[in-house]
Amino acid sequence: MDFSLSDEQAMLQRTVRDFVTRELLPLEGEVLRREREGQEGITRAQVRELQLRAKSYGFWGINTPEEYGGANLGPVMTALVMMELARTFIPFVFGGYADNILYYCNEEQKQRYLLPTIAGERVSCFALTEPGAGSDAANIQMTAVRDGDEWVLNGEKVFITNGNDADFAMVFAVTDKAKGAQGGITCFLVDRAMGWRSSYIPTMGEWGPAALYFEDVRVPAAQVLGEIGQGFRLGMQWIGQGRWIYAARAVGASERLLQMAVDHANTRVTFGEPIAERQAIQWMIADSEVEIEATKWLAFHAAWLAEQGQDTRHAAAIAKLHGATMANRVVDRVLQIHGGMGFTRELPIERWYREMRVWRIFEGTDEIQRFIIARDLLRGYTKIGALL
């Protein structure tokens, strides 16, 4: 059992960390200033410029199949990349990427949606969540009624990432209520030009999701993604593939925060000596390190299972639950160690504090992860103490 990185993995880690250090960390001060003034921290154009710059480092389509010009690095290397990118709060992802379910496009759809998205010419959003159907995704109410060669969509979606920027959405709607979720939900590719609109949802963090509104939006029958009635399966495939990624992000962000705490503890002097000499501070640092390391290996294990083509649902639920709760504990400790300065907006700690809170909600709440884990054990899907 070898826990060391291969030469290729170690080189990838160093290269991404170098990119983050050179290109992203210097932007943090300006982004914080702009956000304090109520402006957009970083624009879509700036992100696009950074993505093209990253392309010169060789980072383009890190999980895109080679036939589409990507590197197809695989889950384990993706976990490494996400850990490194999460060391900054700058909302950046490498370009050349498309949502996994877009690969179900037919040939005509690929030309209009998949390929332009990979090239960065189009922006998509995943529209499943509704006001009354968050964790209970099978309970969506948006309807799609067939009318000749078109479907007529009516309903509302909420908390949609990229919903305000997207020019097309992957929209899930009920096409046959009698068949339930497994056969009665269909996914549609819906251009904004077809008539849906969006509005910004203010949150306690800088993440700005959208509400999407569909009022008699007419969508050609050719816009069905995959097969009629198979939308719920696609939706769960989209959600399930990313849960362990949030554990990886939690590791990177928490490592950066913990280093800030260590540096501050060694330089902040009270009553004649650094606060690093105080046992209360030492225990917060020690507990954080233990929890970060545990999350790291939970994330790598789930990623490894994905790379082997095995079922990751149980491992991903464990990693996501532990990672999200861990990151919230770590940022709270780091803020406490910094005292009053940690509470100000001069440092990025309070920003991370606000941002990390949503990690326990989206892509499956803590409660949903606990439900999955307990269900797997109680029904015998997963054996306690099973041999690896």
Structure token digits, residue 257: 């925060």
Q: What percentage of the chain has pLDDT greater than the value 70?
A: 99
335 and 261 belong to one structural domain:
yes
Q: Which residue, 254, 351, 333, 256, is CA-closest to 295? A: 254
226 and 247 belong to one structural domain:
no
- Residue 387 has a pLDDT of 64
- Residue 363 has a pLDDT of 85
358 and 252 belong to one structural domain:
yes
Type of residue at 44 = R
Question: Looking at the domain assignment, is residue 388 inside a domain?
Answer: no
- Residue 236 has a pLDDT of 85
Question: Looking at the domain assignment, is residue 163 inside a domain?
Answer: yes
Question: Looking at the domain assignment, is residue 110 inside a domain?
Answer: no
CA angle 137, 92, 232 (to 5 degrees): 15
> Does the pLDDT of residue 41 top 80, yes or no?
yes
Q: Model's pTM, two decimal places?
A: 0.92
Over residues 312-325, the pLDDT tens digits come to 999 999 999 999 99
Q: Are 98 and 120 in contact (CB under 8 A)?
A: no
- Residue 138 has a pLDDT of 82
> What is the overall mean pLDDT for the chain?
93
Type of residue at 285 = I
- Residue 117 has a pLDDT of 95
Marked catalytic residue, from 67, 255, 363, 367: 363
- Residue 174 has a pLDDT of 95
31 and 146 belong to one structural domain:
no
Instruction: Show which of 167, 196, 230 is a domain's final residue.
Output: 230
Q: Using the CB atoms, write b or e for 226-256: b if 16+ within 10 Å.
A: bebbbbbbbbbebebbbbbbbbbbbbbbbbb
Q: What percentage of the chain has pLDDT greater than the value 90?
A: 82
264 and 371 belong to one structural domain:
yes
List the beta bridge partners of residue 220. Answer: 150
pLDDT band at 277 (very low <50, low <70, confident <90, very high): very high
Active site residue 363: yes
256 and 329 belong to one structural domain:
yes
Average pLDDT over residues 325-338: 98
373 and 270 belong to one structural domain:
yes
Q: Is 385 left (phi over 0), alpha (psi -120 to 50) or beta?
A: left
d(CA 115, CA 54): 19
More confident residue, 298 or 4: 298
CA distances from 148 to 178, 224, 260 (A): 21, 14, 61
372 and 291 belong to one structural domain:
yes
Average pLDDT over residues 347-360: 94
294 and 371 belong to one structural domain:
yes
Neighbours of 56 (CB within 10 A): 9
Instruction: Give the SS3 label for residue 42.
Output: coil
> Does the pLDDT of residue 388 top 70, yes or no?
no
Q: Whole domain around residue 171: which residue ranges?
A: 123-230
d(CA 240, CA 233): 10
> CATH number for the domain including 53?
1.10.540.10
Q: How many domains does the chain have?
A: 3
> CATH number for the domain including 156?
2.40.110.10
- Residue 356 has a pLDDT of 95
List the beta bridge partners of residue 321. Answer: none
Question: Looking at the domain assignment, is residue 201 inside a domain?
Answer: yes
Over residues 67-109, the pLDDT tens digits come to 998 999 999 999 999 999 999 999 999 999 999 999 999 999 9
Question: Looking at the domain assignment, is residue 105 inside a domain?
Answer: no
Question: Looking at the domain assignment, is residue 386 inside a domain?
Answer: no
Over residues 361-377, the pLDDT tens digits come to 988 899 999 999 999 99
298 and 171 belong to one structural domain:
no
Question: Looking at the domain assignment, is residue 236 inside a domain?
Answer: no
260 and 185 belong to one structural domain:
no
> CATH number for the domain including 293?
1.20.140.10
263 and 369 belong to one structural domain:
yes
More confident residue, 363 or 305: 305
Average pLDDT over residues 242-260: 95
The radius of gyration of the chain's CA atoms, rounded to the nearest angstrom, is 22
Type of residue at 178 = A
Q: Are 305 and 315 in contact (CB under 8 A)?
A: yes
Question: Looking at the domain assignment, is residue 104 inside a domain?
Answer: no
In terms of C-beta distances under 8 Å and separation of at least 24 residues, what long-range contacts does 52-59 make, across chains too? 52/95, 53/23, 54/19, 54/23, 54/94, 54/95, 55/95, 55/96, 57/15, 57/19, 58/15, 59/15, 59/16, 59/19, 59/94
